[in-house]
Amino acid sequence: MEEQLQLILKEYIKNVDDVCNSLLKSINSSENLNLKNKYDFLKYRASSRKMEFEADGMRYQLHGKGCMAYNAEKFMDWDFGYRSRWCGINPWKVSFTLQKNNSPHVEYYDGTLLQTTCEQAIQKGIMFKQDDQYYFEMTADEIYKPEFPAEFDTLVIDYFDSSWSLSRNKIIDRFIRKSTWVYDQIDKSEYKYMLRFLLKGKEIYAIPYNDIGYPENAVKIMSDEIINKFSPHSISWNREILL
């Protein structure tokens, strides 16, 4: 995949993230809510049944598994992404977005070409595919190897104003073994948990966590087997909430 196209696709993802976070802040302000992430928004959407919004001069129209956001200067179209991601790369929605914004990169107005390029990127280890959308793999210069403690007896998980603890067990140990790398910018994410490891009541190690900045095998354990089962505000992973 050409470096120019990678930059275009990553800018598309950033723009979707920005307009989605703006929408969350607008809903929270106007309705006195505390939506923190995509999961909160999808639950809100399912209960409110609202399909149109306005925020920061943008109009939002929900559709199927995604949304359009636009004003006189800007247009975005996307499908909601895998796990906490606001979007992935749907080649046809990206190409349509580029056309509507009169992008000078007219060669990428072709969704079929973008799909072929993304499929080739999978073979090269640049991207992966999930639920008909494409996502960038982490590169070696974007990750680091965490140094989890060998000895601890308690894991405390903090998430905004919530906190809960678990005694050390085989599931937590399995998560540690699968966590061979962590995204080095994870601490800058608005959507993150803090994992605090304690020994005899004393914190000995802390590391942020979200379901983007860890290997998928580790995510399946922490998000699905630990957070989703034991959090006081457990997340529903049911994909039907998108429909």
Quick: pLDDT tens for 90-137: 999 999 999 999 999 999 999 999 999 999 999 999 999 999 999 999
Q: Are residues 130 and 12 in the same domain?
A: yes
Rounded percentage of the chain residues whose pLDDT exceeds 70? 95
Q: Are residues 7 and 118 in the same domain?
A: yes
Q: What is the pLDDT of residue 234?
A: 56
Mean pLDDT of 192-204: 97
Q: What is the pLDDT of residue 164?
A: 94
Q: Are residues 193 and 130 in the same domain?
A: no
Q: How far apart are CA 14 and CA 92, in angstroms?
A: 18
pLDDT band at 230 (very low <50, low <70, confident <90, very high): confident
Q: What is the pLDDT of residue 231?
A: 75
Domain count along the chain = 2
3-state helix, strand, coil in the chain (%, to 5): 40, 25, 35
User: Which residues, other chains included, contact 61 with Cβ-Cβ below 8 Å and sequence gap of 6+?
Assistant: 51, 52, 67, 68, 69
pLDDT at 237 > cutoff 70: no
Q: Are residues 7 and 83 in the same domain?
A: yes
Q: Are residues 10 and 98 in the same domain?
A: yes
pTM for this model (two decimals): 0.90
Phi-psi region of 29 (alpha: psi -120 to 50; beta: other; left: phi over 0): alpha
Q: What is the pLDDT of residue 238?
A: 40
Which of 105, 137, 169 terminates a domain? The answer is 137
Q: Are residues 36 and 91 in the same domain?
A: yes
Q: Are residues 36 and 86 in the same domain?
A: yes
pLDDT at 232 > cutoff 90: no
Q: How far apart are CA 135 and CA 116, in angstroms?
A: 14
pLDDT at 214 > cutoff 50: yes
Q: Are residues 176 and 124 in the same domain?
A: no
Quickly count: other Cβ atoms within 10 Å of residue 124's Cβ. 9
Which of 137, 170, 204 terminates a domain? The answer is 137
Which of 119, 137, 155 terminates a domain? The answer is 137
pLDDT band at 161 (very low <50, low <70, confident <90, very high): confident
Domain that holds residue 190: 141-241
Q: Are residues 231 and 155 in the same domain?
A: yes
The more confidently predicted of residues 64 and 219 is: 219
Q: What is the pLDDT of residue 4?
A: 94
What are the pLDDT digits (tens) for 23-32?
A: 999 999 999 9
